[in-house]
Structure 1
Amino acid sequence: MKPVFVNSAVCISAQNTLAEDVFAELKLPERTNLLNAIEPSYKEFITPGLIRRMSKVVKMSSVAAQKSLQEAEVENPDAIIVGTGMGCSEDSEKFLKNLIENGEEFLTPTYFIQSTHNTVAGQIALSIPCHSYNFTYVNCGSSFEFSLLDAKLQLENGEAQNCLVGGTDVIADHTEELYELNKTIKAKNEIPENLLDSKTEGVVWGNGSAFFVLENEKSESSYSQLVDISIVNILEKSEIKNFINDFLTKNNLENSEIDAVIFGFSGDHDSDNFYREAQQLFENSPQLYFKHLCGEFNTAAAFAFFMANQILKKQEIPELIKINNFEKKEIRNILIYNNFFGKEHSLVLLKKP
């Protein structure tokens, strides 16, 4: 099978991740229960007529995808694969609101047409234009990982030479209100100073869009090699160590050979216990976390994937994401472990190209 390399990485998030020196721009956000993405100047990438008709998630994704293709010097990818948990819920809410307010009469079809989950991948393809494989994964908290897996399999088996892969999610206003009511999102008076010390349920929510070009040819600008991905829907806490050990054994690695492990601590006390179990396997490795910078959302793993690629390329770890002070001279292997409210467990292994 052919190797798979990450040859571009672009992210729009609650951090200034479009900056040239990403690590220098990282900062702890204000204590709030919703971290909104820092949006770019869309008029530099999208014509004004289209901007007015696009929802936030489509605009962010279009920019991130465009910049990712430019960085990898790919004009027309062999596949566009997008993972999203929430899809275009903003347009869904607008359509339903108009439906109620207008008594089901005189409705414009635009919001309905753009409310489907595959709108993002479709709009990217139309803008290029690209007539190749176009697919959207909607798998709750593992949508991005399934997108990565699809691209990896296609590249390994020679079905594609390059794939544009993205993870994108934006929470709509009414959905945010519902999430606050059912305590999916933390109450504002329960937000801990340090996410790792949280004793309550619920998370700080976030928004974001990250896109990557994966190819089976290594280039001078390659960030990493994507080695393996494993996804399991439901696990008991007692099964986490075996899940990780089996994954490492499959890839001929010892725990000590993991030079950095990125955990998805979200501030939800119960689901964070899975990470605490896993931490015991990596006492002699740098342990990192990321959701205090971007928030929790269905495709937050795309932010972790972006950070992991930056770390491998720069060979440095920013202080803001460190859990412990263990250091290694060279960062060769990075493991990302994420779950979504105690389900959708995923492992992603990257190595220095």
Structure 2
Amino acid sequence: MRKTVVAFNRVPVDLLEPYAQELEIIRLEGAGEDLNSQLDRVLPVAHGLIGGNRKFSRSQIESAKNLQIISSISVGYDNYDVNALTEQGVLLTNTPDVLTETTADLAFALILSTARRVPELDHWTKTGNWLQATGEAQFGTDVHGKTLGILGMGQIGSAIARRGHFGFGMQILYSGRSRKLDIERELSARYLSKEELLGSSDFVCPMTPLTEKTKNFIGAKEFQLMKRSAILVNVSRGPVVDEAALVQALAAGEIRAAGLDVFVKEPMATSPLFSLSNVVTVPHIGSATHETRRAMAVRAIENLLCGLAGNRPRDLVNSEAWDRRIA
């Protein structure tokens, strides 16, 4: 009997075509409530799900009686109820490593565009304000030679730090649960407490995963510790930063600027952040290049096929579900 796979988004058609003979592939189209209703109809017959940026409720998971694996085309998996999946014996996989360099590129794009006020001055120029030589009102701040603080020196954090150290001669500070001696040797990085890092950094990049402990990891207290000239860049998860406190800090001049790829609510059409000239915002595009999204899809398909074949996938998130299966 052929197993049924439901592809809900981010899966290029041509990548699944070679498996159409061995799998029953159902592709879902649409968004919002329409996609939810489609999912509700097909979940009871699905053996595998593949896609990204989709939340599944506990009731949906419990209705998927045949489900063996969800292969997520993402690194973060906070959209998924991992406990519910584990209880049901459903494997969850993600696509780490593939988007590391691409996301680090975007983080540095936000560092540069906030420091040099690129989007703001692009708009200023195009709306007819460049009538004489620029002056202090258009000045930004240097990036080269400054201090870059990474809160969570994982793979993406390390990639951002390398760009800063080797490309811009920046001093690297970092904090986290443990020291990374190899990073210290490679980048002459210094390990500090969170509080010391916030007070010493010109650019602050929180790179922690989203957990109950890291919600509002950067809030009013942290903004007060930062330099008034500091810039916050967030390409990790939106809820890591207290957005209300960030708006207040930016409006009051407690910090210089912010560059944001992620938000508490996604997507959204309006936000107090959008009205602030010292904020650069992009719509969660950390991995959004043709090359990287395709590579993520390839990795996700590999995980999916491995799980459906009864083997342990390379990028298994909930190892307890696998342990239960083989017990």
RCO higher in structure (CA 8 A, sep ≥6): 1
Structure number, greater radius of gyration = 2
Query: What interval of TM-score do these two structures reach, taking the shorter chain for normalisation?
Result: under 0.3
Structure with higher strand content: 1
TM value normalised by structure 2: 0.27
